[in-house]
Amino acid sequence: MTPIDLRSDTVTRPTAAMRAAMAAAPVGDDVYGEDPTVRALEERLAAELGFEAGLFVPSGTQSNLIALLCHCARGDEYLVGMEAHTYKYEGGGAAVLGSIQPQPIAHAPDGTLPLDALQRAVKPDDPHFARTRLLALENTWHGRVLPQRYVQEATDWARSRGLACHLDGARLFNAAIASGVPARTLATPFDSVSVCLSKGLGAPVGSVLLGSAALMGQGRRWRKMLGGGMRQSGVLAAAALHALDHHVARLADDHARAARLADALSGIEGLQLLGCHTNMVFVDVPVARQAALAAHLAGDGIRVSIGYLPTVRLVTHLDIDDAAIARSVDSLARFFAN
Ligand SMILES: *Cc1c(COP(=O)(O)O)cnc(C)c1O
């Protein structure tokens, strides 16, 4: 029985072709700036997304942290969604390591941070307050593509208040493929953008942070300090370049499979479908039933994200094919029939 892992799109394993590209990569010491494959990746993404420079880093968490450290100093604050990755799912790194205070803002249901709430959160120049420096958005947010008109309005507003703008674009290419808006258009309103290669794109490791040459110069210093300066990391960058060549357009397949999964689940009595956005399906399962559900699915070789919330998330990716969708629907239907 082939295991089916719907917990996250981070679980993909490199394909044979990707491994071959990794094995063939020319490499050097990237801390000296001498790895040609890392440089090719940084330059390619910078050019494609409309920035001067890029910085290849081990993880999306480090990429976002470096961006926050570049934009904000000790005693500064950033405006961020209450359910945003950079606020909630990164161990409080900005506060722990940067002495940067988050100012969380409640999301509207579409993932946007309402402009009036942002407006109210900006602090006056007064010793009582942290200095508001940055607006951080996320696209996709829990699978949702932010409306581009909102992104433009929010970043225009931020600029008018003297704030810099950062985008956690861990799944930027999912947003581009789902909306039909070029990734570059989604990225250019921001001063910095972080893109994950290890999510739906299917590379084993890595994110790239993009921004001006000056900002990335600062970022390189923070990356070294945080322990993210890697040596012959071209083997990893080669996987990322392979992913950019071969795994971007196919994100549409993940989105289509998620939509089909959601459609099938909506017909199962007792299961409450909450929504389907890009490659993520959300269902509501009472916390009291979740352990039983996890055990049932495990018996069928299926894993899903079951946590401390009633929402269960199912994520499609490179290693989920049509048969995996059919088996998952069948298993969930049998559970809810009882
Ligand atoms: C996964 C993810 C990150 C961070 O990625 P890691 O590589 O796991 O550190 C950042 N933001 C979002 C929205 C993510 O989904």
Residues in CB range of 109: below 8 A, 6 or more apart: none
Neighbours of 132 (CB within 10 A): 23
- The phi-psi region of residue 33 (left if phi > 0; otherwise alpha if psi is between -120 and 50; otherwise beta) is left
Pocket test for ligand 1, best of 196, 199, 278 (most atoms within 8 A of CB): 196
Distance 85 CA to ligand 1 centre (A): 7
| Cβ atoms of 301 and 3 closer than 8 Å | yes
Identify the pLDDT of residue 201: 98
pLDDT score of 270:
84
SS3 109: coil
Mind listing the pLDDT tens digit for each residue in 155-206? 999 999 999 999 999 999 999 999 999 999 999 999 999 999 999 999 999 9
List of residues 6+ apart from 179 with CB closer than 8 A: 145, 148, 186
Q: Residues near 252 by Cβ (< 8 Å), separated by ≥ 6? A: 177, 178
For 292, other C-beta atoms within 10 Å of its C-beta total 12
Q: Which domains does the chain have, with CATH numbers?
A: 16-248 (3.40.640.10), 250-337 (3.90.1150.10)
In DSSP notation, 169-197 reads ETTHHHHHHHH---HHHHHTTSSEEEEES
Q: How many CB atoms within 10 Å of residue 208?
A: 27
pTM for this predicted structure: 0.97
Nearest to residue 49, comparing CAs of 212, 285, 178?
A: 212
Beta bridge partners of 167: 137, 193
**Cα-Cα end-to-end distance for the chain:** 23
What's the pLDDT tens digit per position in 92-112? 999 999 999 999 999 999 999
- What confidence tens digit (pLDDT) does each residue in 107-140 have? 999 999 999 999 999 999 999 999 999 999 999 9
- Is 279 a residue whose pLDDT tops 90? yes
- Residue 86, helix vs strand vs coil: helix
User: Tokens 């409450």 — which residue?
Assistant: 272
Indicate whether 308 pLDDT > 80: no
Q: What is the largest CA-CA distance in the chain?
A: 63
DSSP 8-state code for residue 124: P
User: Is the pLDDT at 230 greater than 80, yes or no?
Assistant: yes
Pairwise CA distance, residues 68 & 35, whole Å: 26
- Mutational pocket test of ligand 1: of 7, 11, 83, 89, the residue with most ligand atoms within 8 Å of the beta carbon: 89
Which residues' Cβ are closer than 6 Å to ligand 1? Answer: 59-61, 64, 85, 138, 168, 170, 196, 198-199, 207
DSSP per residue over 258-324, as a string? HHHHHHHHHTSTT-EEEEEETTEEEEE--HHHHHHHHHHHHHTTEE-B--SSSEEEEE--TT--HHH
Q: Say what percent of the chain tops pLDDT 70.
A: 100
Distance 197 CA to ligand 1 centre (A): 10
Q: Quickly state the pLDDT bin for 46 (edges 50, 70, 90).
A: very high
